[in-house]
Chains A and B, each alone.
Chain A
Amino acid sequence: MDEIPLMPKEQHERLQQRQQPDVAALWDILDAVKDPEIPALSLWDLGVLRDIRRLQDKAQEGLQEGLQETVQIIITPTYSGCPAMDAIRVDIEAALAAAGIAQVEVKTQLAPAWTTEWLSANGQQKLRNYGIAPPDDGEADAEGLTPLANVRCPHCGSHDSHCISEFGSTACKALFRCNACSEPFDYFKKI
């Protein structure tokens, strides 16, 4: 018997998407592009990178050998006003340019709205290692919002913590303090 896959459906679909042979190499290149605010996470880990497409002008298709194709990158903002989006756009273009792909079109797509469900398991672990409590380390309240206590401290592992501020150093984080080791830490809010 095969093992029952434990990966959420959404994650599974994302993995399949990046394994499409014509774009797989491009996904690998963009793994080097990190979130400018949380450099521990790649855009893939964060779920901001939605899709990669190769576009070719239909009229010219097949007519010109070595025609420069356009690569289209679809990204989605975490929060409406996330100031990192402009930096992310520039970083994507630079990474692809360094790999010899000059014609890049970065598009922003709003729907479906970004959710912390898209953070990969690997991404959650990277956050933890970086000192940020990932969304799953807290139990959301009845309305699905960030809890006000009992988020697992990324420093000492205690769940005995409380929220200091719901709005942290960036739009996506809340500020907590651990009651066990007294260290403050950021919690990546559920959204």
Chain B
Amino acid sequence: MSEKQQQPQQPQQPQQQSQAILDYAVRLGDDALVLGHRISEWVSYGPFLEEDIAYGNVALDYIGRARMFYSYAAQLSGNGKTEDDFAYSRNEREFANLLIHELPKGDFAYSQVRQLLVDVYASLFLSQLLQSQDETLAAVAAKAIKESRYHLRRSRDWVLRLGDGTQESHDRTQRAVDSLWGYTHELFEMDALEQQLADAGIGVDVAALRGPWHAQVSEILTEATLTVPEDGWKVRGGRQGYHTENLGQLLTELQFVHRSYPGCQW
């Protein structure tokens, strides 16, 4: 995260803007950490060895992404915080991840459908974040987008294979699509912070991604002989810290060592 100092000095950012970027980086870090943890739960439970390893790889990419966002937030905070403070020392209500990332891994179809929904989103989101006026956010996006393209190719292949597979795999995949759909609306909602950063050319206008996302996802689901759900119930609240019961349970496991042995090193 140190390249800031090696680049030509930017004009001093107003305090308020800097705080907004910090909060934004933490949100994106939370998304990546929580999903990365969920994916890592598949390690040693994959349906076969190669798939197990693939999950491990994807989880690592996300956790690496979380580290880059948190390290940037720590640097902006300027008060000696580290990436670990963001990951391990905040409570559930302080996490601002979108809810879809924290849902339990479910069966293999469920995890792959969630991955498809977020991979399509990530590839659209990151290609916008690449244009950010903020050099560090743009640099993280440049790294992450290459990885997300690989993730998307895998989740797309699996959804096609499962949706257009046996009756059982088709039913399970359709069930996953139907139960996840209500969590996707939140991906495209802007609050005051995101609007402010989008207006400044720093953040992404996610509301504008809804159209292309829906088109791409619909095309893949249709090809997989699945039905694209009608919009019905919608859940929101992750960005404001209102979570499902699942996040608390996830954090209990994720933060256990750090909270039991503060400052422990090995």
Name A's B-contacting residues (CB within 8 A).
74, 77, 79-83, 107-114, 143, 145-146, 164-169, 171, 175, 189, 191
Contact = CB atoms under 8 A, between A and B. Distances in A.
B146 interface: yes
B144 A165 contact: no
Interface of B: 1-3, 6, 36, 50-51, 53-54, 56-65, 67-68, 135-136, 138-140, 142-144, 146-147, 149-150, 153-154
A79 B64 contact: yes
B6 A110 contact: no
B61 to A, nearest CB: 5
A58 B165 CA distance: 68
A110 to B, nearest CB: 4
Nearest to B68: A80
B154 A169 contact: no
B195 to A, nearest CB: 26
A189 B150 CA distance: 10
B142 A113 contact: yes
A84 to B, nearest CB: 11
Q: Which of B1, B57, B62 has the most CB of A within 10 A?
A: B57
Interface of B is mostly: helix
Given A80-B64, A81-B60, A110-B143, A164 B2 contact: no
Nearest to A168: B53
Contacts of A111: 3, 135, 138-139, 142
B16 to A, nearest CB: 25
Nearest to B146: A191
A112 B146 CA distance: 13
6 contacts: A108-B1, A145-B153, A146-B150, A164-B50, A165-B53, A167-B58
B63 A81 contact: yes
